[in-house]
């Protein structure tokens, strides 16, 4: 005599993945975009640098060491 097996019905899928996002998934990129846009559009905060940047000095020094 064989044992009778019962199969559970599969839940009905609504046609896709769960599309709900947490509140911060939209708020944080929006905040970052607005902050960067404000930095770009505010010319009063743009100052020319007078000192030579450190990375430029480092690259020049590396070039001098390679060419020797």
Reported as a single tens digit per residue, the pLDDT across 24-34 is: 899 999 999 99
Res 11 pLDDT > 70: no
Model confidence at 17, in pLDDT bands (50, 70, 90)? low
Mean pLDDT (whole number) for 8-21:
68
Q: What is the pTM of this model?
A: 0.37
Q: Retrieve residue 51's tokens.
A: 């000192």
The H helix count followed by the E strand count for the chain is: 2, 0
Give residue-wise pLDDT tens across range 35-59.
Answer: 888 888 876 665 665 666 777 887 8
For residues 26 and 30, give the distance between their C-alpha atoms in angstroms, rounded to a whole number: 6
Quote the pLDDT of residue 63: 85
């Amino acid at each position: 005599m064989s044992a009778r097996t019962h199969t559970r019905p599969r839940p009905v899928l609504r046609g896709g993945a769960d599309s709900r996002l947490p509140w911060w998934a939209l708020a944080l990129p929006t905040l970052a975009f607005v902050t960067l846009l404000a930095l770009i559009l505010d010319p009063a905060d743009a100052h020319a640098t007078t000192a030579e940047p450190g990375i430029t000095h480092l690259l020049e020094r590396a070039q001098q060491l390679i060419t020797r």
